[in-house]
Chain A
Amino acid sequence: SQTIHQWPATLVQPVGSPLSLECTVEGTSNPNLYWYRQAAGRGLQLLFYSVGIGQISSEVPQNLSASRPQDRQFILSSKKLLLSDSGFYLCAWSVRLNTGELFFGEGSRLTVL
C-alpha cells in the first residue's frame, strides 16, 4: 500500500534562518507531488506541484522553493524565513487528480519567531 511521510512534524525557527521540509512517498511510481500551506484560521494554499523529477511549478510568488531530486521525494526550502512563513505545511500526492484522490501527509507545523 502507498504511504506518505513528511518531517519534521514541528519546528521553531528564528527569522532569517533556513528551512528544509522533506516528504517521501512509498508504494507508487511517478506520483504527482504537492506542497500546501495553511496559515492559522485560513484555507489551504497550494504552493508547488511536480509531475516528475526536476519538474516544479509554483502557484504563488514567495521566498520558498521546492525541489524533486528523486521520483518519490519532494523538498520544501527557504534560504531566509520570514514571520509570514509560519503555518502548517502539508505534502500530498496523487496519481490522477481530476478523477482520483489526493493523499496528504501528517503535516509540519512551522513557527517563525
Chain B
Amino acid sequence: DAKTTQPNSMESNEEEPVHLPCNHSTISGTDYIHWYRQLPSQGPEYVIHGLTSNVNNRMASLAIAEDRKSSTLILHRATLRDAAVYYCIHPRGGADGLTFGKGTHLIIQP
C-alpha cells in the first residue's frame, strides 16, 4: 500500500465532533480510501470506505477532498467508546492485503 500520513494522536471531549485527517498524496484514481479503528487488545474494525464522493454510515462520515489527496473521518458525537487508534489506508488493487501504519491515537476526555 502507498503511504498515508496521519497525526500521531488527537484529543477531544465527549459528545463533541471529531475530525481525523489523513493525507494520501500518492493515491491513484482507482484506489479506495479505507478507515479502520482498533480498540486495545482487539483486531481492527472496519469503519468506512469511499472513492470520490463523501460517504456516511452509522459509525462515521468520510469527507474526501476533490483532488483525493486527503480525507477526513468525522465522528459526529464522540463517546468514550470511540477512543481507539484510527487507521487510514488506500490499498492497491487485488488481494494482497492492507498495510496499516501507526494511525492516530484518539483520546476522548469525559
The answer to whether A97 touches B102 (Cβ under 8 A) is no
Interface positions of B (Cβ within 8 A of A): 30-32, 34, 36, 41-46, 49, 87, 91-103
Cβ contacts under 8 Å, B87 to chain A: 43
Q: CB-CB < 8 A to A90: which residues of B?
A: 43-44
CB distance from B94 to the nearest CB of A (A): 7
Partner of B95, one of A44, A59, A94, A109: A94
For the complex, give the distance between the alpha carbons of A98 and B43 in Å. 19
In the complex, which range does the number of interface residues on chain A fall in? 20 to 34
- Shortest C-beta distance, A82 to chain B (Å), equals 23
Contacts of B36 in A (CB 8 A): 102
CB neighbors of B among A38-81 (8 A): 42-44, 46, 49, 51, 57, 59
| In the bound complex, CA of A102 to CA of B43 (Å) | 11
Q: How far is the CA of A57 from the CA of B97 in the complex (A)?
A: 10
Q: Is the CB of B32 within 8 A of A99?
A: yes
Q: How many A-B pairs fall under 8 Å by CB?
A: 61
Task: Tell which of A42, A44, A98, A104 touches B32, judged by Cβ atoms closer than 8 Å.
Answer: A98
Q: How far is the CB of A78 from chain B (nearest CB, A)?
A: 20
Which 3 residue pairs across A and B have the least CB separation, nearest first?
A104-B43, A44-B100, A32-B95
Contact A107 B42 (CB under 8 A): yes
Please tell me if the beta carbons of B102 and A51 are within 8 angstroms of each other in the complex. Answer: no
What is the CA–CA distance of A101 and B87 in the complex, to the nearest angstrom?
A: 14
Residues of A close to B97: CB separation below 8 A: 34, 46, 49, 59, 97
**Nearest-CB residue, chain A, relative to B48:** A101
Determine whether the beta carbon of A98 is less than 8 Å from that of B93: yes
- A16-53 vs B, CB cutoff 8 Å, 1 = contact: the mask equals 00000000000000001010100000111010010100
